[in-house]
């Protein structure tokens, strides 16, 4: 009788295990995207007075989209509740190196709970600025994109973050709160700032300082309407400075090598953006105002607008025009076009053409992460291939 009872208990446990497994899933996914980039008037480092010449290189930061792989999981708990998680790693396809501050899961590492009243997540994750930007730009985080004007935008992720998001009949609200926005640091050779080098994906601000709850804190908030034909959204984004990760160091503004040495120093952004969907034609655009209060105050305004059109089921065309204006007159106009041919549902080839028109004080590169010289009228051409799995 005891053996029968043991067998019943074992069978029940196995059935329960099978049932639990059937309610959950884990998905392996990824993108490998790279290409060959040619740019005129390239510089070897920021601050050069004259260009070194044209440059030909394989992309490492991004092509049409950043390369990444990841795991997503979901378990149904019943009553409208789901446990979800995501681990996502960015890598450079030209070398295999890790991206996002040399972190294994630098793009995301979070666990959350879906409920009928919204979704809550905890861990490293994209914030509301990134979510809104992907709704309002046709280029996304491509090599030729708004990332060339502000490197924070494709790196708008936060460590130590709890978030909330809800979509109720197309009306959306969301917020993130981070107690330490970026715990990664990029080592530099200089003795300045404790040897930490400027890196938009590793801004040296771990936070969680006893007695200083605002050090390295970041808050973002989103409110808007995302309809099937049009949408409008408003975003607030504030990040604060504080002690750096290395002894004697301080944190950086992720937009530029500007020190945020205390919790009182901060960068605040306001974004208004939206979209229209007219059949196969999509129109997207917005305005981003940034205000940094540090040793000196600094402000920028970015205006952008673009269109995307499915010429055929396997041919997509995108174009975007943007402009940046700053308090120190480092202004530029930026023009980008992209054509994509879908070889299959998972594989595509594309070409991008970019033109950066810098003012006499500005030196924005047509390709994000690269360098040019002041007053450059720089042209870039990118040929790439992308495969999703």
d(CA 181, CA 241): 9
Mean pLDDT of all residues in the chain?
Answer: 93
How high is the pLDDT of residue 23? 66
pLDDT tens digits, 62-107:
899 999 999 999 999 999 999 999 999 999 999 999 999 999 999 9
325 within domain boundaries:
no
Q: What is the pLDDT of residue 3?
A: 43
289: domain CATH number is 2.40.160.10
How far is 187 from 174, CA to CA, in rounded Å? 34
| Phi, psi values for residue 146, rounded to 5° | -60, -15
Would residue 380 count as lying in a domain?
A: no
Question: Longest Cα pair distance anywhere in the chain, in angstroms?
Answer: 91
- Asked if residue 212 is part of any domain, the answer here is yes
Within a domain: residue 267?
A: yes
| Domain coverage including residue 260 | 27-308
In a domain, 6, yes or no: no
Mind listing the pLDDT tens digit for each residue in 101-150?
999 999 999 999 999 999 999 999 999 999 999 999 999 999 999 999 99
Mean pLDDT computed over 251-270: 94
Query: What are the structure tokens assigned to 100, written together?
Result: 């996002």
Nearest CA-CA partner of 123 in 105, 141, 135: 105
Q: Is residue 54 part of a domain?
A: yes
Count the domains in the chain: 1
Give one DSSP letter per residue of 258-314, joined into a string. -EE-STT-EEEEEEEEEEEEETTEEEEEEEEEEEEESSSEEEEEEEEEEEEEEEETT
Element (H, E) at 74: strand 68-78
> How far apart, in whole angstroms, are the C-alpha atoms of residue 148 and residue 154?
10
Buried b (16+ CB within 10 A) or exposed e, 102-121: ebebbbbbbebebeeeebbb
Q: Report the pLDDT value the prediction gives residue 4, as an integer from 0 to 100.
A: 37
Residue 117 located in a structural domain: yes
% of the chain at pLDDT higher than 70:
94
Domain contains 317: no
pLDDT at 2 over 80: no
Determine the average pLDDT of the residues in 328-348. Answer: 98
% of the chain with per-residue pLDDT over 90: 86
Q: Do the Cβ atoms of 312 and 342 come closer than 8 Å?
A: no
For the chain, helix (H) and strand (E) counts, in that order, are 2, 22
Strand partners, 163: 121, 176
């Amino acid at each position: 009788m005891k053996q029968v009872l043991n067998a019943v208990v074992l069978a029940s446990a196995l059935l329960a295990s099978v049932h639990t497994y059937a309610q959950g899933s884990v998905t392996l996914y990824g993108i490998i995207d790279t290409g060959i980039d040619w740019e005129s008037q390239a510089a070897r480092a920021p601050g050069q007075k004259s260009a070194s010449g044209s440059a030909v290189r394989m992309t490492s930061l991004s092509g049409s989209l950043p390369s990444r792989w990841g795991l997503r999981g979901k378990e149904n708990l019943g009553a409208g509740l789901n446990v979800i998680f995501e681990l996502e790693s960015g890598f450079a396809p030209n070398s295999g190196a890790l991206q996002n501050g040399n972190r294994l899961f630098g793009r995301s590492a979070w666990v959350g709970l879906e409920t009928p009243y919204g979704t809550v997540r905890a861990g490293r994750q994209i914030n509301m600025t990134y979510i809104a930007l992907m709704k309002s730009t046709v280029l996304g985080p491509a090599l030729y994109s708004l990332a060339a004007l502000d490197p924070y935008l494709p790196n708008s992720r936060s460590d130590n973050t709890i978030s909330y998001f809800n979509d109720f009949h197309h009306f959306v609200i969301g917020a993130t709160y981070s107690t330490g926005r970026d715990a990664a640091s990029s080592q530099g050779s200089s003795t300045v700032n404790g040897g930490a080098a400027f890196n938009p994906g590793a801004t040296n601000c771990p936070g969680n300082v006893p007695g200083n709850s605002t050090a390295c804190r970041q808050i973002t908030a989103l409110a808007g309407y995302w309809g099937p034909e049009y949408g409008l959204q408003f975003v607030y984004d504030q990040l604060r400075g504080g002690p750096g990760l290395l002894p004697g160091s301080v944190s950086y503004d992720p937009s530029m090598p500007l020190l945020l040495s205390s919790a009182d120093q901060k960068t605040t952004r306001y974004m208004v953006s939206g979209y229209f969907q007219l059949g196969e034609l999509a129109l997207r655009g917005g305005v981003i105002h940034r205000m940094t209060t540090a040793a000196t105050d600094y402000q920028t305004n970015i205006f952008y607008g673009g269109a995307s059109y499915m010429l055929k089921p396997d041919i997509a065309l995108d174009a975007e025009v943007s402009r940046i204006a700053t308090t120190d007159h480092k202004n530029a106009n930026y023009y980008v076009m992209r054509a994509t041919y879908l070889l299959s549902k998972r594989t595509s080839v594309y070409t991008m053409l970019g033109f950066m028109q810098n003012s006499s004080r500005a030196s924005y590169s047509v390709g994000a992460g690269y360098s040019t010289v002041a007053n450059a009228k720089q042209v870039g051409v990118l040929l790439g291939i992308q495969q999703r799995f």
